[in-house]
Structures are given as C-alpha cells and as structure tokens.
Amino acid sequence: MSVFVWIETLDGAALASSWEALGAARTVAEALGIGVTAIIFGEKSGDIATEAGSRGAAKAIICEADELRRYRLEPCAALVSWLVAAHAPAAVVAVATNRSRELLASAAADTSSGLISEVIDLRVEDGAIIGTRPVYAGKVLMEMTSASATTFVTVRGRAFPAPPPDGSAPPDIESVAAAAIAPELQTEIEDLVAEIGQVNLADAAIIVSGGRGMASNPADPPAELRGEAAAIWKAKDGFANTLRPLAEVLGAAVGASRAAVDAGYIPYEHQVGQTGKVVTPDLYIACGISGAIQHQAGMRGSKIIVAINKDAQAPIFKLARYGIVGDLYEIAPALTAELRKRLT
C-alpha cells in the first residue's frame, strides 16, 4: 500500500505546485508508515518521475500514451480509477487546480471514495486521514475525514511546502499503457491559447492588487471620453502603467477587487475575493482597495499585507501589517523606483 500523488504536467514539465502535493502526500505516508507513489501522465513522464524520486517518492507509475499527451478528463479519470482499484492506495493527493479538482472528483465517484478538497492542513489520527478546509469563503474552517478505503485529497496551493530535491535514489518506475482503459472520448480539445508572461495568481509569492481607487488616475483620458468611460480609461491606464511596472519589478502577479472588475477596469481572471480567487502570497500590496468583506475572504491568509489608500479609515488597514495613507498614483511609482534601486 502507498499514498498516490498526482503530478500535474503541462507540455512535458511538472507544475511546480505539484511538488507541494508530494510534500503533503509524504506527511500522510510517513504517519501511516508507507511510501509515496507519484502518478505521472504525458510526455517526459519518465524524467518527471526521476525528479519525483529526488523529492521523496519511492515509486512512480507513468503513462506516456499518446491519448494522455495533453490532459483530458475522460482518459485521465479512467486511468486514475483503474490504478486506484488495482493498488488500493490509502490516499490520492493532488494540488487543487482546475484540472485536478475535476479529475479527483471523477475518480472518487468512480471508486465510491471520499474526497476532501481544498485542504490547508492534513493529519493522521488512528489511521484516519483528517483534512482541515475552508468553507463559507474562508469565514469558517472544518475538519473532514473519510470512511472509504482510499481518501482523495486536493490541497490548496501554497499551503504545504514542496520538498526540495535531495538526491534520493531514483524511484522504482512502472510504465502502464492507457489504450486498454481509455474510454470513447466525449470531448475534443480544439485549441489552447496560453497567456504569455502573466504570473498565475494562485502560485504567486507576491501580488499587487488594485481597487476602485484606480480610477483616480491623474492622467488625462482622450477628450471624447466622459464620465464612466473616462473613469474606465483612467483605471485601465493605471493598471497598465502604474501597477504593472510595480508588479514587474517584484516578479508579482496583478490582482484586483470585485469593485474594479465589476466596473470594467480589469478582466475577471484578476479578481481576488469571494467570487474570485483565494490567494495566500507572502506579500499582498492592496492599492486603492477599501477592503470589503468579500475581498478580505480572498486575501486575509496572506503573510504580509500592505495597504495604500487615501482614506485613513478604510477597513483594509485593520488587516494590514503596514499602511500608507496617500495617493496610490504617488506612492506606487515611488515604490517602483525605490525597488528598482534596491533589488537590481
């Protein structure tokens, strides 16, 4: 028996946050006195298996079949379900991403197993795996366990440290063929358009976010724009020419409040909060964000929060370790200039 960890891959490389799942899987495996088996599908699975070994996986099961070259739910779920039925692992762990969430839920349904999702803490008590997870947008935490032979677990990104490669012996690698278990495909991937050069919010160690205050940009919009259209132009210009340079010097992702997204200042993909992304960076810099409870739900787990706001009474300051009362259009460029001097 072992603990499975699904290493998510993209274009022949492991997703860096997948190694956090391996760390979480090791915690469970060590408590149960068993080893970790990495499950890897797609191109270069063998190379990735070697890296999994160096990070503490005793074994790897790989499938390099053509059907799995690009992630697709049906063949991947069929294969995970088949492997779980054949090996009866104590747990199947993955880092929570759009793909792993649907994959583990599907395989858990196929094998009538319990799934504990978006876990931020894991422990083993009397042989039972217990996960702590946020509910009600993080306003409440719960502990959940599973009675099934295999417990499926997705762990939230940045909740568990990734074990560094330590030169352990290469793992015992087993290669399986997908052809026998790949079902008739019901979906067809037609196109993948990757956003280039954008830092993913969920993985970001530093996030610079903008709110409604982005519209107070002193830059002059084109003369034909009036009212709301002028405000949108000012905010978009601010995200592109004031926040983006600050994010770039920090290697940070750009986030936004719901107010900024709903006003049309920036696309939804950037929204942090209750109906956006929940993030836990080391550093969160909130610029012109008042700190509504919906926004707090998405970022209150950040290690260090910095608030820059004109209004000294803004609720965001209650969450912040450091606060600056001032105009973000003066403070942010000064911060960018100072960081350029001292980080390069």
Site residues for another protein, 301-330, by CB under 8 A, read 303-304, 306, 317-327, 330
Single residue of 18, 27, 113, 309 touching another protein by CB under 8 A:
113
Cβ-based neighbour number of residue 225 at 10 Å: 14
Does 181 bind another protein (CB under 8 A)? Our answer is no
Q: Are 14 and 7 in contact (CB under 8 A)?
A: yes
* Region of 27-35, 136-144, 208-216, 229-237 interacting with another protein (CB under 8 A): 136-144
Cβ-based neighbour number of residue 138 at 10 Å: 19
Cα dist from 150 to 24, 39, 337, whole Å:
16, 15, 53
Taking the complex as a whole, the smallest distance from the CB of residue 233 to another protein amounts, in Å, to 20
Single residue of 86, 219, 229, 337 touching another protein by CB under 8 A:
337
Taking the complex as a whole, the smallest distance from the CB of residue 221 to another protein amounts, in Å, to 23
CA–CA gap between residue 247 and residue 253 (Å, rounded): 6
CA–CA gap between residue 146 and residue 130 (Å, rounded): 8
Cβ distance to another protein smaller for residue 112 or 222: 112
Stretch 59-98 residues interacting with another protein (CB under 8 A): 73-74, 77, 97-98
Site size toward another protein, by CB under 8 A: 90
Taking the complex as a whole, the smallest distance from the CB of residue 277 to another protein amounts, in Å, to 10
Single residue of 110, 121, 174, 237 touching another protein by CB under 8 A:
110
Cβ distance to another protein smaller for residue 65 or 202: 202
Taking the complex as a whole, the smallest distance from the CB of residue 322 to another protein amounts, in Å, to 6
Measured in degrees and rounded to the nearest 5, phi and psi for residue 221 equal: -75, 160
Q: Per the structure block, which two tokens stand in for 151?
A: 């417990």
Residue 137, judged by CB atoms within 10 A of its CB (0-12, 13-18, 19+), counts as: middle
- Of 272, 271, 286, nearest in space to 328 by CA: 286
Q: Per the structure block, which two tokens stand in for 328?
A: 């973000």
Taking the complex as a whole, the smallest distance from the CB of residue 243 to another protein amounts, in Å, to 14
State which amino acid sits at residue 137.
A
Stretch 2-31 residues interacting with another protein (CB under 8 A): 10
CA–CA gap between residue 242 and residue 261 (Å, rounded): 17
Does 229 bind another protein (CB under 8 A)? Our answer is no
Stretch 239-268 residues interacting with another protein (CB under 8 A): 250, 267-268
CA–CA gap between residue 140 and residue 154 (Å, rounded): 18
Single residue of 86, 88, 219, 293 touching another protein by CB under 8 A:
293
Taking the complex as a whole, the smallest distance from the CB of residue 49 to another protein amounts, in Å, to 22
| Residues 185-214, mask of contacts with another protein (x by CB under 8 A) | -xxxxxxxxxx----x-x---x--------
Cβ distance to another protein smaller for residue 177 or 334: 334
Taking the complex as a whole, the smallest distance from the CB of residue 117 to another protein amounts, in Å, to 4
DSSP state of 242: I
- Of 322, 316, 283, 307, nearest in space to 158 by CA: 283
Q: Rg of the Cα trace of the chain?
A: 23
Cβ distance to another protein smaller for residue 68 or 202: 202
